[in-house]
Structure 1
Amino acid sequence: MTDTESGADWALPDDLEAVQTALIEWYEGDHRDFPWRRTEDPYEILVSEVMSQQTQLGRVVEAWEEFTERWPTTAALAEADRADVVGFWIDHSLGYNNRAKYLHESAQQVEQEYDGEFPTTPDELQELMGVGPYTANAVASFAFNNGDAVVDTNVKRVAYRAFSIPDDDAAFEDAAADLMPEGESRVWNNAIMELGGVACEQTPNCDEVGCPWREWCDAYASGDFTAPDVPTQPSFEGSRRQFRGRVIGTLREYDELEIDTLGHRIRVDYTPDGEYGREWLTGLLSDLEDDGLVDLEMETESEPVARLRR
């Protein structure tokens, strides 16, 4: 199967149905048991997808269980204090705090704009705050079996190695769409991501986990397991993201603080006129203010004050 429309020189195996069956049977026979794989609730799946964007799946499990127990529905989350939701995110080291804010806002949208019923298609789901194409497609796939083929880093690695798909986004999209059996987005997208996550990692485990595609895989036949570079996350320690979290965490405790007092509480090298001083902290607070998380009050006769927005 060659992509003749784009002129790309690549082909999938002729016995595509056998390829599809082999992967689905491998996945259904044994796969990692994450709690969100046992539900078709779109809210619970959305929470898992947002949490997983910057956090290893093993660590997401505990956070997901606690989050969905505390706020079990979109209605419960929509009524929650945003500072509490952001605080939960910080306490569980779940990455960018904006994701908590957007998740809270998306729950409010579902309740207010959709009468508590989730939209069901990828395009409709993208109308929710902070939900991009990948997350929308994942929710549509896993909750409603109504998605397109997922194309993430794992899927690209699998396609590149197994079928020599070129390192080109359009080629990966076309190959992923051709590989997925029609109307099977729920099981297929789970299965192919599982394949990339446990068998076709950067260091492959083909024989150890019984990769179902060994008989078709170009890399397995040649022994050449090179793959497109995997993007690395920027270091969290000392990052702007880390100090955003410290600001929110400190203001949750004190509610409001003068800016210099806040500065000394979030970093030991804070000096008002230094490299990491008022100008740096004001910029950080202005970003948080734009995100609707804090209020920065520039007093005329005293020091500026930062307050947690409620």
Structure 2
Amino acid sequence: MSEWSLPADREAVRTALVTWYETDHRQFPWRETTDPYAILVSEVMSQQTQLDRVVPAWEAFLDRWPTVSALADADRSDVVGFWSSHSLGYNNRATYLHEAATRVVADFDAEIPDSPDELTKLQGVGPYTANAVASFAFDTGDAVVDTNVKRVLHRAFAVPDDDDAFDAAARELMPADESRVWNNAIMELGGVACGKTPACDGADCPWRRWCHAYETGDFTAPDVPTQPDFEGSRRQFRGRVVRVLDEQGATAVNDLGHRIRVDYAPDSERGREWLEGLLSDLVDDGLVALQEEDDRIVATLAAD
């Protein structure tokens, strides 16, 4: 797939996709709002979690912290505890979201900025999230390129598995000043019709008439880095530490090991040294604090 080009009739391609999206698409509550704070929360939560599972967590989060100012005023340990209890992936994303809210209040007068460049100044907000928030909240974003969009462009127009090529194709396709509907539509296409297992006819894909994969039967997709298994991973036990501290409060390190794994033994390979390394990482990430009390080391969730 070294040669690629977009169809000559770009307007027909755009109209077909937008019409398909506006006729029928998945309903998510963050698609019913243009509140940039609510959209930022949804984007951060969605990075590692299936969208159906994000919905109740997103609603509960906004019930608890309904504005960016409310989140900035919250104890970081409460935000991290919420993240862990709702199984929303890496807990440092909760700290980034809290720090971003603090920055918005301090530097932007509690108004989330509307440009991708300004949004990337916030902690934990990269180009994808910045463009998504700018698009869905303000209609001022650039073309969003995520895994779904790459898969669509690769299959439909034989765009090579190259980030620069994906960016160029996405920018060239997106109609001017319509980032909200366009980015929603092309991401929906990748999520509904052009998933890992394509559903071209079943989802009535609007790009079949132009699609290289549909014509050739070659539905190869770009390589997507696979995450290591979660079960038994360091990430799993980091999450367990945060969850125990959220539920139990201050906990002696001597007791913590037994609470996060049933086979914990201080002198074993996954014993005290392993646990201290785990806690050291969490301290470095600003998620956990250690202090000495009555000749013992006690762990707590880190406060601001």
The TM-score normalised by the length of structure 2 is 0.95
- Classify 1:99/1:218 alpha carbon distance in 2 versus 1 (closer, same or farther; 3 Å): same
Q: Which of the numbers 286, 290, 304 marks the counterpart of 1:292?
A: 286
Q: 1:131 aligns with which of 125, 134, 138?
A: 125
Q: How does 1:3-18 map to 2 (within 5 A)?
A: 9-18=3-12
CA apart distance, 1:298 = 5.8
Alpha-carbon displacement from aligned partner over 1:98-146 (angstroms, at most 9, x marks no partner): 0111111111111111111111111110111111111111101111111
Deviations 1:224-268 (A, max 9, x none): 211212333322221212211211222223322221211111111
Paired-residue identity, %: 70
Alpha carbons of 1:257 and 1:185: their partners in 2 closer, same or farther (altered >3 Å)? same
Report which stretch shifted further, 235-244 or 192-201. 235-244
Which residue in 2 is equivalent to 1:213? 207
Q: Please state if 1:141 is matched with 2:141.
A: no
What letter matches 1:304 in structure 2?
Answer: I
- What is the correspondence of 1:151-170 to structure 2 with a 5 Å cutoff? 151-170=145-164
Query: How many residue pairs get matched?
Result: 302
* Map of 2:20 onto structure 1: 26
Alignment partner of 1:57 out of 47, 51, 65: 51
Q: Which residue of 1 aligns with 2:302?
A: 309
Change (3 A) 1:308 1:221: closer
Once residues 223 and 78 of structure 2 are traced to their aligned partners in structure 1, the CA distance between those partners, rounded to angstroms, is: 38
> Which ranges in structure 2 are unaligned for 5 or more consecutive residues?
none
Counterpart AA for 1:42: P
Structure 1 residue 203: Cα displacement: 1.0
Distance 2:158 2:300 in 1: 54
Contact map agreement 2:3 2:158 (CA 8 A) in 1: no
Structure 1 stretch displaced more, 205-214 or 81-90: 81-90
3-state secondary structure, aligned to 1:304: strand
Instruction: Tell me if the contact between 1:154 and 1:197 (Cα under 8 Å) persists in the aligned partners.
Output: yes
Quote the Cα distance in structure 2 between the aligned partners of 1:91 and 1:251. Answer: 11
Confirm whether residue 258 of structure 1 aligns to residue 252 of structure 2: yes
1:232 lines up with 2:204 in the alignment: no
**1:88 paired residue among 67, 72, 82:** 82
For 1:227 and 1:309, how far apart are their aligned partners in 2?
A: 42
1:286–1:296 Cα contact (<8 Å) kept: no
In structure 2, what is the equivalent of residue 3 of structure 1? none
Report SS of the residue matched to 1:236.
coil
Runs of 4+ in 1 over 4 A off after TM superposition: none
Q: Tell me the distance in 1 between the aligned counterparts of 2:221 and 2:241.
A: 40
Partner of 1:158: helix, strand, or coil?
Answer: helix
Query: 184-193 or 81-90: which moved more?
Result: 81-90
The alignment partner of 2:94 has SS state of: helix
| Contact 1:51/1:94 (<8 A) preserved | yes
What's 1:4 paired with? none
Q: 2 CA distance for matches of 1:26 and 1:49?
A: 23
| Corresponding letter in the other structure for 2:117 | D
Q: TM (normalized to structure 1)?
A: 0.93
Distance in 1 between residues matched to 2:64 and 2:255, nearest whole Å: 33
Q: Which moved more, 1:73-82 or 1:20-29?
A: 73-82
1:202 maps to which of 196, 205, 208: 196
CA root-mean-square deviation: 1.5
